[in-house]
Amino acid sequence: MRPTFFLLLALSTLLINCQKETEPFPDFELSYFPIDSGHYIVYQVDSIYYNDFDRTVDTVSLLIKEEVGGQETDNRNQNYQRLNRYYKRDSSPWQLAEVWAIQIEGSFAYRIENNQRYINLSFPLKMNRQWDGIPYIRRDTVISIPGGSIDIYKDWDASEIIELDGSYSYNGQSFDSVLTVLQVDKINNIERRYSLERYAKNYGLIYKEQLILDTQCNGNIANCIGIPWEQKAEKGYILKMTFLSSN
């Protein structure tokens, strides 16, 4: 696959920072969001897509390597790092699929993904700290996905740190300094929006889970009450991205 470059458009549209003024925080907190060139993490990524047109369900599994690339400067003279994303299946060679970006500016850590800018962390890192994680993204933005399109960001409120200094193990690797960020957790009879990320000291993002699902229950919502979302979803996706290895 050829790499796609969304960086300039994403970074050029961000001329206004509506967040609070920078708060002081210890330097070691930056280790939860490494931006050193050459740092990489390999993830196991498992996705389930619900086709809105023919009601089929498709499961996709692959490996993704995110590697921090060189430093560049945006149109506001702010530095950012390229984030090269490589895909492969099984023993096939890595293929550069897309280029995202990461950035630490003031008291915020950003990821620019598919031309969408997220505030993933807010410093200083405190339990129950909240911030607007998508101030540059309209909540009614409709995103194309395999099998249709969906308004991913509907009902997203503030991101919140719900755990500090947690301990987790993924694929044989133990982490003893993990923070968990809940980005959204909303549910009703026809919509499910859930997004959670975990960051480990000296590693960065080690786990991500999303359930972005809609249903009309084939026109009979009452019959769907109590049925797990994995069974009743008609549109959207489930994503799990789990740490495998790093340098």
- The answer to whether residue 240 sits within a structural domain is yes
Q: What is the 3-state secondary structure (H, E, C) of 78-105?
A: CEEEEEEEEEECCCCCCEEEEEEEEEEE
pTM for the model stands at 0.88
Residue 159 domain flag: yes
Q: Is residue 1 part of a domain?
A: no
Per-residue b or e along 62-100, where b marks 16 or more CB atoms closer than 10 Å to that residue's CB: ebbbbbbbeeeebeeeeebbbbbbbbeeeeeeeeebbbb
Indicate the Cα dihedral angle 205, 117, 106, 122, nearest 10°.
Answer: -50
CA 148, CA 215: separation in Å to the nearest integer?
13
**Spatial contact of 175 and 156, defined as CB atoms under 8 Å apart:** no
- Specify if 164 maps to a domain: yes
User: What does the pLDDT read at residue 74?
Assistant: 85
166, 191, 4: which is closest to 85 by C-alpha? 4
- 2 within some domain: no
Instruction: Provide the residue range defining the domain that includes 241.
Output: 7-246
pLDDT tens for residues 104-119?
A: 999 999 999 998 999 9
DSSP, res 21: P
Q: Tell me whether residue 30 is in a domain.
A: yes
Residue 26 within any structural domain of the chain? yes
38: tokens are 């050459």
- Residue-wise pLDDT for 16-71, tens only, equals 444 445 677 878 899 999 999 999 999 999 999 999 888 899 999 999 999 999 99
Instruction: Report d(CA 160, CA 182) in Å as an integer.
Output: 5
How many structural domains is the chain composed of? Answer: 1
107 in a structural domain: yes
